Structure 1
Amino acid sequence: MSDDKNHTGSPDRISLGEDHEIRDWTTSLGVSESELREAVDAVGNSAGKVREYLKVG
């Protein structure tokens, strides 16, 4: 299956399954990939909960 960047997941959910999504979230949140993965492991893939966990915007 191709990596269709035009078909994205929900903007309020963080997907760690695609390299471009990891890049986009780490850039958006200003964190490293390991920090992003730690946050998702801790609170799930809700962008709001991850932001709270990371204490960002």
Structure 2
Amino acid sequence: MADDKTKRGPADSSRINVNEDYEVAYWTEALGCTEEELQKAVKSAGTSAKAVREYLNK
């Protein structure tokens, strides 16, 4: 089944997919960070939303 790009939130709220613009937009707003900060956090902490939150709150 194809992703429904009209949905605002991520398909799996426990993972962050930085390859989808709508997910990047959602997560940058939800986490209060820039796209660059999100990219760096995912690269360092992995795609787990919990791990990225912890990384950004350091």
Query: So what's the TM-score if we normalise by structure 1?
Result: 0.83
Gaps (5+ residues) in structure 1? none
Gaps (5+ residues) in structure 2? none
Structure 1 residue runs of 4+, over 3 Å off?
Answer: none
Question: Paired residues, what number?
Answer: 54
Which whole-Å CA distance do the structure 2 matches of 1:45 and 1:3 have between them?
A: 18
Query: So what's the TM-score if we normalise by structure 2?
Result: 0.82
Identity %, equivalent residues: 46
CA RMSD of aligned residues (A): 1.9
Which whole-Å CA distance do the structure 2 matches of 1:3 and 1:46 have between them?
A: 20
